[in-house]
Structure 1
Amino acid sequence: MRIFVQSIDYNIWKIILNGPDVPTKQNADGEVMAKEDNEWTEEEKKKVELNAKAINLMHFAISFEEFRKVSRCKMAKEIWDKLRLTHEGTKQVRETRIDMLMKEYEMFSMKEDESIDQMFERFSIIINNLDAMERSYSEETLVRKILRSLTKK
C-alpha cells in the first residue's frame, strides 16, 4: 500500500501516516475550534482534499471485507491505523510474530524430498514476512543461509 500511495502523491502518504491538518481557529475565549467550510483558505482546502484523496485511494486498494471494517472511518489515518491493527496486531502480537519468524528463519533447512525451487519458495515466504515486519537481512547473509541449508544431495 505504501508504494502504491507514494507513487500517486507523497503528500497523501504523509496524510495517511500523520493525519490531516484540520483547519482551526480560536474563538474570543481562546478556545481552539474547527473552522466552517466557508472560512477555509485555498491552502487549507487543498490539505482537506488530500485526506479525501487518501480515503478514496485506500478504499480502492482494499478488499470488500476490509472495506466493511473501515467504511465508517472519517480520516485516512484512522483507516490506516485500523488496517495495521487488523494485519499486524498489537505491539505484543507483532513481537510474537517476529519471534516466530526469526525462529523459523534460524531453523530453516532443505527437506529431503524438496526441490531447490520449492525450498527457495519456502525461504522467500519467511524472508518476505520478516521484511514486512521491518526485520531484514543483507543479500550476503541470505545467500549464506540458503547455501548452509542445502542437503548433501
Structure 2
Amino acid sequence: MERDHANRSRPVAFNLSKFDDWKVRKQAHLSAIYDEMWDLISGGPIVVMMVNTQKAAQGADPETMIPKPKSQHTSDEKTRANLDNVARDILFKSLDDSLFQKVRKCTTAKQIWDTLMSLGERDEQEKDNKLTVSMKKFEDFKMMPNEAITDIELRFRKLMGDLSDLRKEPTEKEKNLKIL
C-alpha cells in the first residue's frame, strides 16, 4: 500500500482545451495513489464507522453503526480517513489561480471534482460545436505533403480520440478505415 504521497510526479495542470485528457490522467493518478481514492471522488469522504455499543447494550439492533471517533482510529483508518485531504491537495495543485478561485470554498474532493467537471464539460451546445469541428476535420482528413506515415497515423488517432471523447460512435466505414 503506497503511503508516500509527497514524492509523486508533477501534477497535470487543468486545461479546458485538453479537458478530456486531463480528466483521464487525473482519474488514473488518483487511483494509482490509493485504491480507495477514486471512491471518495465519486462518493464523498471516507467515514470510518464502528458498532454503536450503547444501542447494542440496550437490546436494539446491534448492527447500528456510528462514526468512529478520530482518537480511536487505527493507523490504517487514519490513512483512509485522510484520503480526502490528499485528493483535495492533488486537485488544488493542478489548478491555476483563476480556477482555484472557483473551487477554493469546496470542502471535499468530490465537490472540487464536480465543480471542475461542470467547468470542463460545459453545456451541450459547446460539445455539439466541438463535434461539428471534429467531424469537419475528419471529412477533410488527408495526407499532408512530406508527411510520414507515422505522423499521419498519429494525427488520425488523435482525431478519432477527439471524436470518441465527444461520444460520437464511429460509423462502420470509419471503423473499417485503415491508413496504408
- TM-score normalised to structure 2 length: 0.53
Indicate which of 83, 96, 99 corresponds to 1:64.
Answer: 96
What RMSD in Å do the two structures reach over aligned CA positions? 3.7
Q: Give the distance between the partners of 1:45 and 1:128, measured in 2 at CA.
A: 40
> Paired residue for 2:10?
none
- Residue correspondence of structure 1 range 55-134 to structure 2 within 5 A: 55-60=88-93, 62-65=94-97, 66-98=99-131, 100-111=133-144, 113=145, 115-116=147-148, 118-133=151-166
Structure with bigger helix share is 1
Indicate which of 22, 38, 43 corresponds to 1:18.
Answer: 43
> Paired residue for 1:42?
73
Q: Give the letter for the 2:152 counterpart.
A: M
Q: Give deviations 1:44-86, integer Å, cap 9, x for gaps.
A: 86554221121112123x1324323222211111111111122
Q: Which runs of no fewer than 5 residues in structure 2 stay unpaired?
A: 1-25, 50-65
Q: CA, structure 1 residues 6+124, in 2 after alignment: closer, same or farther (shift >3 Å)?
A: same
Q: What secondary structure does 1:2 align onto?
A: helix
Q: How far apart are 1:136 and its partner, in Å? A: 7.1
Q: Give the distance between the partners of 1:22 and 1:92, measured in 2 at CA.
A: 39
Instruction: Say how many residue pairs are matched.
Output: 132
Identity %: 25
Q: How far apart are 1:12 and its partner, in Å? A: 1.0
Q: Give deviations 1:30-53, integer Å, cap 9, x for gaps.
A: xxxxx9995786388655422112
Q: Give deviations 1:12-44, integer Å, cap 9, x for gaps.
A: 1111122225689xxxxxxxxxx9995786388
* Range with bigger deviation, 7-16 or 47-56: 47-56
Q: CA, structure 1 residues 114+19, in 2 after alignment: closer, same or farther (shift >3 Å)?
A: farther
Q: How far apart are 1:97 and its partner, in Å? A: 3.1
